[in-house]
Amino acid sequence: MQNENMPNFLKKRAFLTPDRTAIYFHDETLTFNELYHRSVKAAGQLQGLGVKKDDYVGVLLKNHLDTVIILFALQLLGVTAVILNNRLTTAELAWQLNDSKTKIVVLEPSLSEVGNALKSSIASLSCVTNNQLFLMKSEVPIIQEEVDLADICTVMYTSGTTGNPKGVMQSYGNHWWNSVGSALNLGFIERDCWLCTVPIFHISGFSILMRGVIYGVPIVLHESFDVEKVLADIKNKQVTIMSVVGTMLSRIVTAIKDEHLPEQFRCMLLGGGPAPLPLLQSCVEKGIPVFQTYGMTETASQIVTLSPEYSLTKLGSAGKPLFPAQLKIELDDGSDAPAGTAGEIVVKGPNITAGYLYRPEATMEKLRDGWLHTGDVGYLDEEGFLYVLDRRSDLIISGGENIYPAELESVLLGHPDVADAGVTGVEDDSWGQVPIAFVVKKDGADVSVEELVDYCMSRLAKYKIPKAVYFTDLLPRNAAKKLLRRKLREWLKEAGLDDENFI
Ligand code: ATP
Ligand code: MG
């Protein structure tokens, strides 16, 4: 394949619009020119450590300015950033560092202890904190004027919801096409300003950094999600777009009470997992312009998005594939599913990864003729709108009927006393499998198993009603806050089934 080269993204942006604001973080503001020069300096410091083109460097940093500078410095040097989730345990981090054969990591000073533990388990590893790095002498860095779109810009591990995380190779082309696809869909205006409260170590956050530079619009970076700060900055910094996951959006909905978001705010991009219908409904009532999206680490963020004009008529749909992407629903025999029939969601497009790092077999299994087999189940309606049902591995088959745990969870979450809900299947002699629900009650709520079952009865077909409901204080979630249904299955295996909870 012929190489497709483009100018280095940040260098080009700093040349085109040097004085525009690139980023707001606390009280600091950097223009694209300043961001570029600080990244060049950091590139010289990284080079001083022996880092050079085509190396892999681990990045174990939180959301702040230094992280942005270091990530762009690596791009200037043509180095692949292995972006690590700072909420992982030391053992999980060691696994990913070994898996990616990473030899050098830039980390938070507050994670120095973790760094020491990692060094003692991986002999060849060296660690440097961002503070130490920025005190070092800067060499004149060898800047890569061009990027080959096929080159690997970042390696990011999947969330590990269904098993061990896999290192996804994300090329410059993947990030470029994701930014372009997103702009063609969400529209693009010069006064756009994107609020990033999601982690940069996750594709949802990293893709915002890339879009900021590619579009030439500012981003407002927060360390983490704080609803008061979010509402204040949407107003003060004239934010127009924000990326959220469901739990963040429900906190925003609660916090704004009867008020509306400021008029310039035009897009609440909601992704990361199934969106509970009651939440979408309350956003419609409050005039919050929700764009539901579907995407994954392998698609360099969103690949399917629903515009708000369809919020009501297509409630619960994730929308249509973005302009550069294609999507179909595949049945078990490999044929295309007709409209309304559920099957595996398969996607294709220039934003899709070339594969998993050092895992040719997993790559071959998931990527066939350029089509990524997502492992998610969904269907298309007559007009081509996608409805994501659930993960294939979590599907419950009861008496020959398919039950999608996400549907039951969504119903349970609609109950006023329910704070969180998780559903999984267990083996059953008569039905093959039956659904079991785990529920976290809201503070002070006193709902009974019978009430919850009645509530489900009035909303779901009989075979979908949970056969047992267990109350618990907390559901097992991974570092990306995704529900680990496989842990629920382990809980049930360990504890055995308790007859009292059965209906
Ligand atoms: P792993 O692949 O290691 O099991 P993961 O799939 O959770 O982890 P991510 O790439 O972070 O890792 O998440 C992508 C997944 O999130 C999708 O494949 C899908 O299952 C789920 N998801 C994303 N958006 C939606 C959506 N709108 N509706 C339902 N599920 C979604
Ligand atoms: Mg996945």
Confidence label for 349 from pLDDT (cuts 50, 70 and 90): very high
405 lines ligand 1 (CB under 6 A): no
Inside any domain, residue 163: no
58 lines ligand 1 (CB under 6 A): no
Domain CATH number, residue 244? 3.40.50.12780
In this structure, the answer to whether residues 328 and 408 fall within a common structural domain is no
Percentage of residues of the chain with pLDDT beyond 70: 98
Boundary-marking domain end, from 366, 392, 418: 392
In this structure, the answer to whether residues 138 and 227 fall within a common structural domain is no
160 lines ligand 1 (CB under 6 A): yes
Statement: residue 467 has pLDDT above 80 = yes
Statement: residue 309 has pLDDT above 90 = no
Inside any domain, residue 197: yes
Which residues is 24 bridged to in the sheet?
A: 29, 220
Boundary-marking domain end, from 132, 148, 164: 148
171 lines ligand 1 (CB under 6 A): no
**Cα dihedral sign, 98-99-101-102:** negative
Residue whose CA is at the smallest distance from ligand 1 atom 2: 158
> H-helix or E-strand containing 215?
helix 203-215
**What are the CA-CA distances from residue 29 to residues 21, 33, 35, 207 (Å)?**
7, 11, 10, 20
In this structure, the answer to whether residues 364 and 427 fall within a common structural domain is no
Helices 449-457 & 405-413, crossing angle to 10 degrees? 110
- Report the 10 Å Cβ neighbour count for 198: 26
Which residues is 102 bridged to in the sheet?
A: none
CA distance 42 to 67: 11
Residue whose CA is at the smallest distance from ligand 1 atom 5: 159
Ligand 2 centre to CA of 60 (Å) is 21
Inside any domain, residue 216: yes
Q: Which residue out of 162, 296, 485 has the highest number of ligand 1 atoms within 8 Å of its CB and is therefore the one to mutate?
A: 296
Cα 197 to its chain centre, rounded Å, is 12
Q: What is the mean pLDDT of residues 282-300?
A: 94
Ligand 1 centre to CA of 217 (Å) is 28
In this structure, the answer to whether residues 74 and 193 fall within a common structural domain is no
388 lines ligand 1 (CB under 6 A): yes
Q: Which ligand is nearest to the CA of 160?
A: 1
In this predicted model, what pLDDT tens digit does every residue of 137-147 receive, in sequence order? 999 999 999 99
Inside any domain, residue 156: no
Domain CATH number, residue 78? 3.40.50.980
Direct distance between the N- and C-terminal alpha carbons of the chain, in angstroms, rounded to an integer: 61
- Report the 10 Å Cβ neighbour count for 487: 16
Tokens of 242: 């924000």
Instruction: Evaluate whether 211 touches 181 at the Cβ level (below 8 Å).
Output: no
Q: Which residue out of 95, 99, 158 has the highest number of ligand 1 atoms within 8 Å of its CB and is therefore the one to mutate?
A: 158
Boundary-marking domain end, from 392, 421, 454: 392
Q: What is the mean pLDDT of residues 417-427?
A: 94
- Report the 10 Å Cβ neighbour count for 126: 12
296 lines ligand 1 (CB under 6 A): yes
Q: Which ligand is nearest to the CA of 166?
A: 1
Inside any domain, residue 155: no
Confidence label for 492 from pLDDT (cuts 50, 70 and 90): confident
Inside any domain, residue 213: yes
Domain of residue 92, residue span: 1-16+28-148
Instruction: Kindly give the number of the ligand 1 atom that is closest to the alpha carbon of 168.
Output: 10
In this predicted model, what pLDDT tens digit does every residue of 441-454 receive, in sequence order? 999 999 999 999 99
Q: What is the mean pLDDT of residues 354-371?
A: 96
Q: Which residue out of 155, 372, 376 has the highest number of ligand 1 atoms within 8 Å of its CB and is therefore the one to mutate?
A: 376
In this structure, the answer to whether residues 412 and 387 fall within a common structural domain is no
Q: What is the mean pLDDT of residues 360-377?
A: 96
Residue 73, φ and ψ in degrees, nearest 5: -60, -40
In this structure, the answer to whether residues 374 and 497 fall within a common structural domain is no
Which residues is 194 bridged to in the sheet?
A: 219, 241
**Structure confidence at residue 31 (pLDDT):** 98
Ligand 1 centre to CA of 295 (Å) is 7
- What residues contact residue 408 under an 8 Å CB cut-off, 6+ apart? 421, 423, 435, 437, 456, 460, 464, 466
239 lines ligand 1 (CB under 6 A): no
**Structure confidence at residue 494 (pLDDT):** 82
303 lines ligand 1 (CB under 6 A): no
343 lines ligand 1 (CB under 6 A): no
Residue position matching structure tokens 């230094």: 66
Residue whose CA is at the smallest distance from ligand 1 atom 14: 296
Inside any domain, residue 212: yes
In this predicted model, what pLDDT tens digit does every residue of 76-131 receive, in sequence order? 999 999 999 998 999 999 999 999 999 999 999 999 999 999 999 999 999 999 99
CA distance 304 to 294: 5
Instruction: Evaluate whether 386 touches 380 at the Cβ level (below 8 Å).
Output: yes
Q: What is the mean pLDDT of residues 226-231?
A: 97
Domain CATH number, residue 449? 3.30.300.30
**Cα dihedral sign, 290-219-224-485:** positive
Statement: residue 58 has pLDDT above 90 = yes
Q: Which ligand is nearest to the CA of 272?
A: 1
Instruction: Evaluate whether 304 touches 294 at the Cβ level (below 8 Å).
Output: yes
In this structure, the answer to whether residues 350 and 480 fall within a common structural domain is no
Identify which of 168, 221, 172 has the alpha carbon closest to the alpha carbon of residue 199: 221
**Structure confidence at residue 434 (pLDDT):** 95
Instruction: Kindly give the number of the ligand 1 atom that is closest to the alpha carbon of 164.
Output: 3
Q: What is the mean pLDDT of residues 150-164?
A: 91
37 lines ligand 1 (CB under 6 A): no
Residue whose CA is at the smallest distance from ligand 1 atom 13: 296
Domain tally, the chain: 3
- Report the 10 Å Cβ neighbour count for 323: 13
- DSSP per-residue letters across 324-381: T-EEEEE-TTSPBPPTT--EEEEEESTTS-SEETT-HHHHHHHEETTEEEEEEEEEE-
Average pLDDT, the chain: 94
Identify which of 235, 304, 234, 299 has the alpha carbon closest to the alpha carbon of residue 270: 304
In this structure, the answer to whether residues 190 and 292 fall within a common structural domain is yes
Confidence label for 479 from pLDDT (cuts 50, 70 and 90): confident
In this structure, the answer to whether residues 61 and 198 fall within a common structural domain is no
> H-helix or E-strand containing 78?
none
**Structure confidence at residue 498 (pLDDT):** 60
In this structure, the answer to whether residues 239 and 270 fall within a common structural domain is yes
Inside any domain, residue 154: no
Cα 397 to its chain centre, rounded Å, is 28
Ligand 1 centre to CA of 499 (Å) is 33
Report the range out of 52-56, 310-314, 429-433 with the highest average pLDDT.
Answer: 52-56
Confidence label for 503 from pLDDT (cuts 50, 70 and 90): low
387 lines ligand 1 (CB under 6 A): no
Residue position matching structure tokens 């696994």: 95
CA distance 303 to 326: 9
In this structure, the answer to whether residues 360 and 448 fall within a common structural domain is no
Confidence label for 73 from pLDDT (cuts 50, 70 and 90): very high
More confidently predicted of 75 and 165: 75
CA distance 222 to 65: 10
In this structure, the answer to whether residues 383 and 453 fall within a common structural domain is no
376 lines ligand 1 (CB under 6 A): yes
In this predicted model, what pLDDT tens digit does every residue of 233-276 receive, in sequence order? 999 999 999 999 988 998 999 999 888 999 999 999 999 888 88
